Structure 1
Amino acid sequence: MDYHSPIFFGYLFGLLHVLGIAAAVHAVLTVRTAQGSIAWALSLLFIPYLTLIPYLVFGRSTFDAYIKARRHANKEMHTAIADMDWRPWIEEALAARKSTSYASLRAMPKLGRMPCLANNRVGLLINGHATFDAIFAAIREARRAVLVQFFIIHDDHIGRQLQGLLLQKASEGVEVYVLYDRVGSHALPREYVERLREGGVNVKAFATQSGWLNRFQVNFRNHRKIVVVDGVKGFIGGHNVGDEYLGGNPKLSPWRDTHVSISGPVIACLQESFAEDWFWAARELPPLILPEAYEEDGVLCQVLASGPADPYETCSLFFVESIHAANDRVWITTPYFIPDEAVFAALRLAVLRGVDVRILLPSRPDHKVVYAASSLFAFEAVRAGVKMYRYGPGFLHQKVVLVDDEITAIGSANMDNRSFRLNFEIMLLTVDKAFTSEVEQMLLDDFAQSREIDVRDSKETHRLEKLGMRVARLISPIL
C-alpha cells in the first residue's frame, strides 16, 4: 500500500473517527458528570485525531476497577487496625456536638468519615520558610516515627534538606515512612529514592494499579500533604517539597501558601488518612501512635479526607455545605477557580442572602489553560455579585475557606473538578474564634495586596482572549 496516497489517509482518518465514536460512547457511559461527558464526547466525535490520546490519559475518570480495589484496600486496612483500640475519642466527639457553629455545618458529621474532635492546638504557618522550619524542627525531635506524604517532592535544595534529615532520623532508629505521588513527583530521580531506601527509610510511590494501560493513567492523583511526628505533632496545608514553594521560581515568586501545625486528638485522624494511602501502596500498616493523654481544652477540629473512592463527591459537597452555612461571610482562596454547577449555585445563593462572598485568585498563571478557564468563571462570578480578587505580589497557591467568625478550613483541595472528583485531598476544618481571627487577619493582608476584578475587566478583554477563555471553559470539566 502506498502510505503517501490519499486513499491511505482516507482510511486512517476514517479509522480515527470510528475509534472516536467508540470513545465518545464510552465517555457518555462512564464520565461522572454531564458536563464532562459532553466535553469529551463532542471533542472525540469532531476532532478524534487530537483528543483520542488525551482521553486515554485523562478521560477514564471513573475507572471502576480502581475504585473497587481502593475501597477493598481501605476495608482491609480498617479491619487490620480494628483490634488496636483506635479512635479513643468518644468524649471529645461528644464535646464537639455542643458547638453552635459546628452545628451549622449540618451535613459535616456524615460527610466526613472522621469525627470533629475537641482539645486540639493549631498554629498558622504563613508561607514556605515558616512551614518548613516548623516541619524540620518537629522531625529533628522525633523519637519513634515520622510519616511524610507530599504530592510533589523535588530533588533540589529543600528536597535534599528533607532527605538528609530523614536519613539522619532513620540512622537514630526512628521509623520513617515517605509516600509521594508518582505523577506529581515524576521528575524525582530514582537515585533520590534509592538513597532513602538504602538509609533505612520506607519509601513508596502512590499510583493507581499495575498494568500496561495504567502507564497512561494520570487521574486519581494523591494531592495530600501530611506530616506526622511521633503521633503528637502534625502538619497539613498547600505546600509541596520544592524550592519554588520558598520563592525559588522567579516567574512565580514570591510564592504565597499556607500550612497549619496541629497537636491533639485529631492527629489520630491524620495518621489514619496516611495509613489508608500507605496500605494501598504497600499492603502493610505504618506505625500508629496514640499519646497517653491529651490537653483538657483547645480547638475543635475535623479532618476531611476526600477521594474518588468515596461513596459521594465529598470535596465538592464540602464546599457547597460550607458556603450554605455562611450567614455573614465566606472568604475563599484558591489557585484554580473552576467550580461545578452546585458550587457556583451555592455562591450565587450566598450573595442573594446578603453574605459577603470573596474569592482570591492568583494574578500569575502556572497553567495557562486553567488560568483562562478560571478567568471566565471569575467574570461570571463578578456579574453574580461575588467579590473576586487577584493576588498581586506572586503566585497564590493556598487553599483556605473562612466562614463567619468561627469556621476555617485549610488543606490541599482546590476549587476545580480534579479536586472535586479525581484527586485524593485533605482539609483541616477548625471551629474556633481566636484561630479564625488569625486566618482573617492573614486574608485581610492578602486582600490588601490584591486587585478587585470588576465588570470592566471583562469588557476590556480582547475578543481573541475571550474566545480562548471560552474554549478553555469548554474543556474545564476534564481539566
Structure 2
Amino acid sequence: MQFEFNWLSLGTLIFVSHTLGVIAAIHAILNTRTSQGAVAWAVSLVAMPYLTLIPYLFLGRSKFAGYVDARRLENELLRTRAHPSAWDTHASSAGRPADALGHHVVRALTGLSGMPFLPGNAVRTLVNGDATFGAILDAIENARRYVLVQFFIVRDDPLGTMVKDLLIAKAREGVRVCFLYDSIGSFDLPQRYVAELLAGGVEIHPFATNRRFVNRFQLNFRNHRKIVVVDGERAFVGGHNIGVEYLGGNPRLSPWRDTHIDMRGPVVASVQFVFLEDWHWATQRLPRLEPSQAEEPQPQHGHDMHCLVVAPSPADKGETGSLFFVEAIHAARERIWITTPYLIPDEAVFAALRLAVMRGVDARILIPSRRDHYVVFEASKLYAYDLIRAGVRIFRYRPGFLHQKVVLIDNVAAAVGSANLDNRSFRLNFEIMVLTIDHEFAAEVEAMLAEDFVLAYEVDRSEYREAPALRRVTMHVARLFSPIL
C-alpha cells in the first residue's frame, strides 16, 4: 500500500509540475519582450518544468509593471518639480548635433531619450579607478548644498568606508546627502554600513523592485546606473562601482580597466533628473531641495559640447537600450568603436553592425580576455565568431579585466556610461549613457581607446574553430541563455 501511495504521489507531483510549466510557458509567451526569449522559456518550461520553474520565478519577468505604473501616475509631479525648463520646448534637430550625426539621427535619439541635446557643457574622461574616485571624492568634499549618489554595487571595504565617512562628514556640515544603491547588486552590503550612514544624517535607500507581489521574487530589473551629482553643478557617470576591485584590488582581474566621465553644464540637470526619477520610485518622495538648490546649471564659458542623456530601463515603451546602440551604429560613416565587458548583442544590433561593415565603416569591438562570469564569457565567444564572419573586428584586452562601456562614432561623437552590449542592459536593467558631440572630446576618447587597442590582440576565427569539441558545445549551450544574460 505504501509503495502504491509513493507512486501516486510521484505521479501527482509530475502532473502538477507540468501543469504549472504550461501555465508559466503561456505567461512567458504573453509577457517576454523578445520572441527568442519567449521561445526559450516556453520550450524549457514545458519540457523541463522541474529545472526551470524556479529560475523563471526569479528571472522570467521582463516588463517592470510597477515602475511603469509609477512613471505614468507620478510623471507629472516629477516633470513639474524636477524637470528643467529648457525641456518644455521640443528639441530641435538643427545645430551642431545634426551637422555631426544628421537630422534624422538626432530626432531619433532625442525621441528615445525624452530629453534634448543640451549645449554649453564641459566633459572630460576619467580613466580607471584612481582618477575616477579621486575626482568624485574631491567634488563631494567641496559640496556646499547637496550630494546625490547612486551605485549598483557598494562594498563595505576600504573604498566603501572612505565614501561612507566622507558622506557622513558632509551631512554633519549641513549638506543634504541622498544615497541610492541596488538591493541585489549590493546584496552583501552589511546592515551596519547602512545604519552608520542613517545615523550620520545620510538619506540612504535600496532600489528594490519587489514592492508589488508580482515582482516579489524577481532578480531582474536591476538598477545598474552609476551616478553622482554635486550641487547640481557637477555630475559623474560611467562604469565604476564602489569597491576596491574597481581600483585593481582583485588580483585575478587586476588591473581593472574602466572609464567614467566628469560633466559640468546644463547636462547635469538631465543626469539629476534620472536620479530623481529612481529616488522617487525607491522612496515615494523627491529630495527636499530648496529652490536655490535646484537652479539649472549654467553653460560653461569656453566650452560648447552638446550632450544627450539616454537612460534605458525596462519601464520604457520600446527597447531603448538596443535602439540606442542601433542608431549610434547607423550614424557612423567612417568608424564605430565599442568597448564592452559582455558581448551578447541582439539581432537588431548584430544587423546594424553588419550593415556598417557593408558601408565600409571601421567597426571594432573591444572585449575582455579575462572572465568574471563563465556563462557570459563562453556565449560571447560564439557571438564574437559570428561578428568576425560578418567583418567586424574583435579585440581582447590583455592586461586585466575590461569593464568600460564606451562608444566612439567617427571623429565627432562619443558615449560613455553604464550600458553593456547585452540583453540585460538592452531590456532588463536601468542604465545611463551620455552622448557628447564634440571633436575635441571625440579625439580624447579616440586616443584613450587607441591605447587600449595597442594592449589588445585581435581575435580570429580560430578562437572558435580550434576550440575542443566540448568547449564549442559549451559555447552553444551558453548562448541559449542569452535572453537572460
Q: What range is the shorter-chain TM-score in?
A: over 0.9
Query: Please, which of 84, 87, 103 is the counterpart of residue 85 of structure 2?
Result: 87
Tell me the distance in 2 between the aligned counterparts of 1:221 and 1:459. 36
- Residue 373 of structure 1: CA displacement? 1.0
**Partner in structure 1 of residue 346 of structure 2:** 340
Instruction: Kindly indicate whether the alpha-carbon contact (under 8 Å) linking 1:93 and 1:117 is maintained by their aligned counterparts in 2.
Output: no
**Partner in structure 2 of residue 103 of structure 1:** 102
TM-score (norm 1): 0.95
- Residue 465 of structure 1: CA displacement? 0.8
Instruction: Kindly indicate whether the alpha-carbon contact (under 8 Å) linking 1:183 and 1:218 is maintained by their aligned counterparts in 2.
Output: yes
Give CA deviations for 1:266-297 in whole Å, capped at 9, x if unaligned. 10111111110111111221235225743244
Instruction: Kindly indicate whether the alpha-carbon contact (under 8 Å) linking 1:43 and 1:51 is maintained by their aligned counterparts in 2.
Output: yes
**Partner in structure 1 of residue 50 of structure 2:** 49
Q: 1:177 to 1:66 in 2, by over 3 A?
A: closer
Give CA deviations for 1:322-370 in whole Å, capped at 9, x if unaligned. 0001100100000111111111000000011110000011111111111
- 2:381 aligned with 1:380: no
Instruction: Kindly indicate whether the alpha-carbon contact (under 8 Å) linking 2:345 and 2:422 is maintained by their aligned counterparts in 1.
Output: yes
Query: Please, which of 410, 425, 428 is the counterpart of residue 419 of structure 1?
Result: 425
**Partner in structure 1 of residue 14 of structure 2:** 13
SS of alignment partner, residue 210 of structure 1: coil
Q: Which runs of 5+ in 2 are unaligned?
A: none
The correspondence of residues 43-192 of structure 1 with structure 2, limited to 5 A, is 43-81=44-82, 86-88=84-86, 97-99=95-97, 100-103=99-102, 105-106=105-106, 107-192=108-193
The correspondence of residues 425-436 of structure 1 with structure 2, limited to 5 A, is 425-436=431-442
**Partner in structure 1 of residue 234 of structure 2:** 233
**Partner in structure 1 of residue 252 of structure 2:** 251
The one-letter code sitting in structure 2 at the alignment partner of 1:336 is Y
**Partner in structure 2 of residue 361 of structure 1:** 367
- Residue 114 of structure 1: CA displacement? 1.2
Tell me the distance in 1 between the aligned counterparts of 2:251 and 2:2. 52
Tell me the distance in 2 between the aligned counterparts of 1:186 and 1:221. 12
The one-letter code sitting in structure 2 at the alignment partner of 1:196 is L
Tell me the distance in 2 between the aligned counterparts of 1:370 and 1:121. 36
The one-letter code sitting in structure 1 at the alignment partner of 2:454 is A
**Partner in structure 2 of residue 392 of structure 1:** 398
SS of alignment partner, residue 118 of structure 1: strand
Tell me the distance in 2 between the aligned counterparts of 1:13 and 1:323. 49
Tell me the distance in 2 between the aligned counterparts of 1:30 and 1:87. 37
Query: Please, which of 294, 299, 318 is the counterpart of residue 299 of structure 2?
Result: 294
Give CA deviations for 1:75-119 in whole Å, capped at 9, x if unaligned. 43224446xxx3347899669734411436241121211110111
Q: 1:200 to 1:96 in 2, by over 3 A?
A: farther
**Partner in structure 1 of residue 222 of structure 2:** 221
- Residue 157 of structure 1: CA displacement? 0.7
Instruction: Kindly indicate whether the alpha-carbon contact (under 8 Å) linking 1:97 and 1:103 is maintained by their aligned counterparts in 2.
Output: no
SS of alignment partner, residue 229 of structure 2: strand
Instruction: Kindly indicate whether the alpha-carbon contact (under 8 Å) linking 2:66 and 2:212 is maintained by their aligned counterparts in 1.
Output: no
RMSD over aligned CA atoms reads 2.0
Instruction: Kindly indicate whether the alpha-carbon contact (under 8 Å) linking 1:331 and 1:402 is maintained by their aligned counterparts in 2.
Output: yes
Query: Please, which of 463, 468, 474 is the counterpart of residue 457 of structure 1?
Result: 463
Q: Which runs of 5+ in 1 are unaligned?
A: none
- Residue 69 of structure 1: CA displacement? 3.0
**Partner in structure 2 of residue 405 of structure 1:** 411
Tell me the distance in 2 between the aligned counterparts of 1:379 and 1:6. 49
Give CA deviations for 1:422-451 in whole Å, capped at 9, x if unaligned. 111100100111111111111111111111
Tell me the distance in 2 between the aligned counterparts of 1:290 and 1:2. 76
Q: How many residues align?
A: 476
Q: 1:212 to 1:308 in 2, by over 3 A?
A: closer
Tell me the distance in 1 between the aligned counterparts of 2:449 and 2:82. 40
SS of alignment partner, residue 5 of structure 1: helix
Q: 1:81 to 1:386 in 2, by over 3 A?
A: closer
Tell me the distance in 1 between the aligned counterparts of 2:389 and 2:380. 14
Tell me the distance in 2 between the aligned counterparts of 1:316 and 1:87. 29
- Residue 70 of structure 1: CA displacement? 3.7
The one-letter code sitting in structure 2 at the alignment partner of 1:283 is Q
The correspondence of residues 245-284 of structure 1 with structure 2, limited to 5 A, is 245-284=246-285
- 2:36 aligned with 1:27: no
The one-letter code sitting in structure 1 at the alignment partner of 2:393 is K
Tell me the distance in 2 between the aligned counterparts of 1:282 and 1:66. 12
Q: Which moved more, 1:58-67 or 1:345-354?
A: 58-67
Question: Which consecutive segments of 4 or more residues in structure 1 shift more than 4 A?
Answer: 1-4, 89-96
- Residue 207 of structure 1: CA displacement? 1.1
Tell me the distance in 2 between the aligned counterparts of 1:177 and 1:27. 37
Instruction: Kindly indicate whether the alpha-carbon contact (under 8 Å) linking 1:337 and 1:378 is maintained by their aligned counterparts in 2.
Output: yes
The one-letter code sitting in structure 1 at the alignment partner of 2:147 is V
Q: Which moved more, 1:278-287 or 1:191-200?
A: 278-287
The one-letter code sitting in structure 2 at the alignment partner of 1:254 is P
Tell me the distance in 2 between the aligned counterparts of 1:313 and 1:31. 12
SS of alignment partner, residue 142 of structure 1: coil
Give CA deviations for 1:381-401 in whole Å, capped at 9, x if unaligned. 001110001111111110000
- Residue 252 of structure 1: CA displacement? 1.0
TM-score (norm 2): 0.94
Q: 1:292 to 1:217 in 2, by over 3 A?
A: closer
Instruction: Kindly indicate whether the alpha-carbon contact (under 8 Å) linking 1:149 and 1:224 is maintained by their aligned counterparts in 2.
Output: yes
Tell me the distance in 1 between the aligned counterparts of 2:67 and 2:261. 31
The one-letter code sitting in structure 2 at the alignment partner of 1:175 is R
